């Protein structure tokens, strides 16, 4: 009886062993050879098109608008006349004179001149709030001007150390995704803001050319190229594994047993990583579908770990 019990136990153990091996998915490796190419380190951010200097133009007097000489989007020089206005007294006097006839009206129009509203700076009109005949007060903004439209981007504090005024940037407007507009960093804010519990800094991007498609309030995406390298050795970022502060790749060897090789890396763009040392162009790197946790630990030649040896 004891003999049969022992046989059954052995059969069960052996069966469980083979079932567990059948259920275990074997690691599949893909061979990747390092390639030479180019890679750029880019800081990306989102922003909004806004006037660099926004100026509301208010009349110095209360009265009636007689003529508006500008339209939205029109470029204006400093000192150029924008609007002709009649003061409240002039408007009342002219209305009374018109009731007496054209000659009387002409007389008072020549004697009592209208008041010009002039542009305080060189720029363009971004908003027109009045039409001829409209009555306004000295507190009403009749026009809004701007000297330039820029993109104000919000950059995470972790990327701030990589940005400098004068760096080139690519601007893509959500309204015109097919157009890539050249620009450069004009200013980086000295004071941070907290947005959704994240510390950000405002970065002003000035377009190199003034384009008619720019409108205040448009959403935009910014890419700032921090550094770019050409003709360097590259590997996909997915094959780089980290362990105890060091980086490794799984290397195919001529003996059949993979080896974890420590590598020194440089810049990366999220897809590809620069390999500074540790791997040559002739090497074959193995990519595991299971990821780092499934890599055979016995191939790591690290302190405190034993390398298995074949007998």
Q: Are residues 278 and 169 in the same domain?
A: no
Structural domain including 116 reads: 54-146
Give the domain CATH number at 118. 2.40.50.100
Query: For residue range 198-219, what is the model confidence (pLDDT) as tens digits?
Result: 899 999 999 988 778 889 899 9
Q: Is residue 16 part of a domain?
A: no
For the chain, the distance separating the N- and C-terminal CA atoms, rounded to the nearest angstrom, is 39
Query: For residue range 80-108, what is the model confidence (pLDDT) as tens digits?
Result: 999 999 999 999 999 999 999 899 999 99
Length, in residues, of the chain: 311
Q: Indicate whether 300 pLDDT > 50.
A: no
Residue 268's pLDDT band, with cuts at 50, 70 and 90, is confident
End position of a domain, from candidates 205, 229, 253 = 229
Query: For residue range 50-70, what is the model confidence (pLDDT) as tens digits?
Result: 999 999 999 999 999 999 999
Q: Is residue 162 part of a domain?
A: yes
Q: Indicate whether 152 pLDDT > 80.
A: yes
Residue 311's pLDDT band, with cuts at 50, 70 and 90, is very low
* CA within 13 Å, CB half, 232: 18
Q: Are residues 214 and 266 in the same domain?
A: no
Give the torsion sign (CA, 275, 280, 281, 285). negative
Q: Are residues 137 and 170 in the same domain?
A: no
Q: Are residues 61 and 118 in the same domain?
A: yes
Residue 306's pLDDT band, with cuts at 50, 70 and 90, is very low
Q: Is residue 305 part of a domain?
A: no
Q: Are residues 75 and 204 in the same domain?
A: no
pTM over 0.85? The answer is: no
Q: Indicate whether 182 pLDDT > 70.
A: yes
End position of a domain, from candidates 96, 114, 146 = 146
Residue 204 main-chain phi, psi, to 5 deg = -95, 125
Distance, in Å, from the CA atom of 155 to the CA atom of 147, rounded to the nearest integer, reads: 24
Q: Are residues 46 and 167 in the same domain?
A: yes
Give the domain CATH number at 200. 2.40.30.170
Q: Supply the pLDDT for residue 16.
A: 62
Q: Indicate whether 235 pLDDT > 60.
A: yes
- Count up the domains in the chain and report the number: 3
Q: Are residues 46 and 36 in the same domain?
A: no
Give mean pLDDT, residues 160-187: 93
Q: Are residues 46 and 189 in the same domain?
A: yes
For tokens 């003034």, name the residue. 210
Q: Are residues 286 and 238 in the same domain?
A: yes
Q: Supply the pLDDT for residue 291.
A: 44
- C-alpha triplet 292, 294, 300: angle, nearest 5°: 70
């Amino acid at each position: 009886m004891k003999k049969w019990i022992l046989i059954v136990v052995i059969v069960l153990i052996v069966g469980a062993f083979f079932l567990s091996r059948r259920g275990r998915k074997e690691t599949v490796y893909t061979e990747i050879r390092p390639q030479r190419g180019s890679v750029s380190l880019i800081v990306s951010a989102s922003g909004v098109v806004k006037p660099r200097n926004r100026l509301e133009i208010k009349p110095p007097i209360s009265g009636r608008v007689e003529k508006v000489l500008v339209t939205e989007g029109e470029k204006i020089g400093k000192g150029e006349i924008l609007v002709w206005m009649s003061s409240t007294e002039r408007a009342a006097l002219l209305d009374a004179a018109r009731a007496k006839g054209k000659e009387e009206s002409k007389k008072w129009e020549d004697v009592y001149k209208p008041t010009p509203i002039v542009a305080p700076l060189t720029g363009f009109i971004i908003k027109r709030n009045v039409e001829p005949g409209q009555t306004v007060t000295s507190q009403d903004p009749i026009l809004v001007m701007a000297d330039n439209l820029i993109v104000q981007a919000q950059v995470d504090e972790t990327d701030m150390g990589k940005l400098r005024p004068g760096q080139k940037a690519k601007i893509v407007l959500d309204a015109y995704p097919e157009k890539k507009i050249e620009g450069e960093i004009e200013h980086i804010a000295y004071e941070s803001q907290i947005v959704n519990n994240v510390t950000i800094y405002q970065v002003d991007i000035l377009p190199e050319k003034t384009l008619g498609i720019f409108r205040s309030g448009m959403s935009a995406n910014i890419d700032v190229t921090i550094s770019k390298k050409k003709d360097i050795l590259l590997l996909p970022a997915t094959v780089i594994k980290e362990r105890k502060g060091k980086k490794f790749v799984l290397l195919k060897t001529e003996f059949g047993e993979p080896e974890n090789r420590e590598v020194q890396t440089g810049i990366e763009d999220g897809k590809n990583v620069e390999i500074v040392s540790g791997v040559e162009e002739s090497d074959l790197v193995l990519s595991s579908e299971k990821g780092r946790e499934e890599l055979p630990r016995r191939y790591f030649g690290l302190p405190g770990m034993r390398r298995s040896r074949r007998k």
